[in-house]
Homo-oligomer: A and B are copies of this chain.
Amino acid sequence: MEINVPEVKIPRIVIIGCGFGGLELVKALRNVDVQIVLIDKNNYHTFQPLLYQVATAGLEADSIAYPIRQIFKQRNNFHFRWGTVEKVIPEQNKIVTSIGELKYDHLVIATGSTTNFFGNKDFEQLGMPMKNLVEALNLRSLILQNFEKALLTTDTRELEALMTVVVVGAGPTGVELAGAICELKKHVLPHDYPELDFRKMRVILVENGDCVLQPMSETSRVKARNYLEQLGCEVWLNTGVTKYDGMVVETKNGKQLLTSNFIWTAGVKGVIVDGLKTEVINSKQRFLIDEYCLIKGCENIYAIGDVACMVTEKYPNGHPQVAPVAMQQAQLVGKNIRNSFSKKALSKFEYFDKGTMATIGRNRAVVEAGKIKFGGFTGWFSWMALHLMLLVGFRNKIIVFINWLWNYLNYDRTIRLIVRPFIRKGKTE
């Protein structure tokens, strides 16, 4: 069955995924005479950089998600369809989805990435990932539920496990999440659970490598680590995790930890679409693309963002899997599609790295932009301003701003709701 989309004489661009890449591409194709069909498994765009604040009760889920139809409601020749893509059949220029088949003239795969458990079934089964809204809400519920349980137990080992939070992976997500959990420990949870002794609560950030925030400079890494330790976070570097059974974590260097809160932010892999040759997919599940973002060997199938890997001299393992890469690739693909219609020359992709930043609790952040590096309150304030600016939807900006102001003035995180029955498996796709 064909997906019910109007038949028109202009070319049809099918975009899979409405993350930062897909969203930007639809924008870039404004005023281009094409029909756009956007498919996503959610009917909303998620502002992923703030997921960790949803997971730590600082923001409501709805304030960082925005309905896709709302974003593009003024657009003609734009059609959103809610569904999941099963495979692409390149020889027939069509995709097969949960809601039917669809022909395309150009296909752009912008499906992003998901948590990589590196094949460890226990981690996948028992660890909590945090890559989408539902997972962030599950994580919030898990942490709160474990404190409710801690009140009831008389078993000291169980109490220790319930009051210990282990975050595996000290990339930006792990660092920001660990920082936010430390703030919960410091300002919020002791008021909620006066019967518990919060000197016993531990937040441990475990990292296989020898530093936190590996993509940043040495200065920022050290600063971030200091910030974390000031907040009471234990930072264990050079510590690979080998085993977790729901209670005990074992590490490569022979340490053991009791925890019921095992959070996994140690890696991502691309969300590939079936149907393309295996040679164009690398070990991190990313499509190998050329400098025009075309998948190797394809003439009309692009991949952009986290799911794509463009090997260049400067980036031999592909560009970092961050929003700016996806957005810049989307702009390039949009421009090239437009130029191809007017027979103009196509441009090659060059990544303009605007810098990186990470926030570690109240008044603390690290920021780098080229040679400029700063941190502390200025960094933290810049982080907030930039994220507010980038957030989609004016209502969302207002709501997030008020929550931040509220939380800042009151040392509070008010959204401490256990909203759903706890699903041990965080996966919901």
Contacts and interface: CB of A to CB of B under 8 A. Distances in A.
B42 A418 contact: yes
Contacts of A69: 191-193, 416
A65 B144 CA distance: 15
Nearest to A100: B152
A148 interface: yes
Contacts of A6: 195
Contacts of A148: 43, 81-82
Given A6-B195, A100-B152, A43 B79 contact: no
A14 to B, nearest CB: 15
A428 interface: yes
Interface in A396-419: 396, 398-399, 402-403, 406, 412, 414-419
B73 A419 contact: no
A347 to B, nearest CB: 33
Contacts of A133: 419
A134 B419 contact: yes
A374 interface: no
Contacts of A61: 60, 62, 419
Given A4-B151, A79-B195, A62 B406 contact: no
Interface in A146-172: 148, 151-154
Nearest to A415: B62
Interface string A66-78: 1101100100000
Contacts of A44: 416-418
Do most interface residues of chain A lie in helix, strand or loop, or is the interface mixed? mixed
A153 to B, nearest CB: 7
B417 A393 contact: no
A421 interface: yes
The contact size tier of chain A is 35 or more
Nearest to A78: B194
A99 interface: yes
A414 B395 contact: yes
A6 B133 CA distance: 38
A393 B419 contact: no
Nearest to A193: B69
A365 to B, nearest CB: 24
Contacts of A154: 4
A73 B418 contact: no
A287 B145 CA distance: 31
B416 A191 contact: no
A418 B192 contact: no
Contact of A60 (B62, B398, B406): B62
Contact of A402 (B82, B134, B398): B398
A201 B60 CA distance: 31
Interface string A24-65: 000000000000000000111000000000000000111101
Interface of A: 3-4, 6, 42-44, 60-63, 65-67, 69-70, 73, 79, 81-82, 99-100, 133-134, 144-145, 148, 151-154, 191-193, 195, 393, 395-396, 398-399, 402-403, 406, 412, 414-421, 428
Nearest first, the 10 closest Cβ-Cβ pairs linking A and B are A60-B62, A69-B192, A82-B148, A67-B416, A73-B191, A44-B417, A43-B418, A60-B60, A62-B415, A395-B414
5 contacts: A69-B193, A73-B191, A81-B151, A100-B152, A399-B402
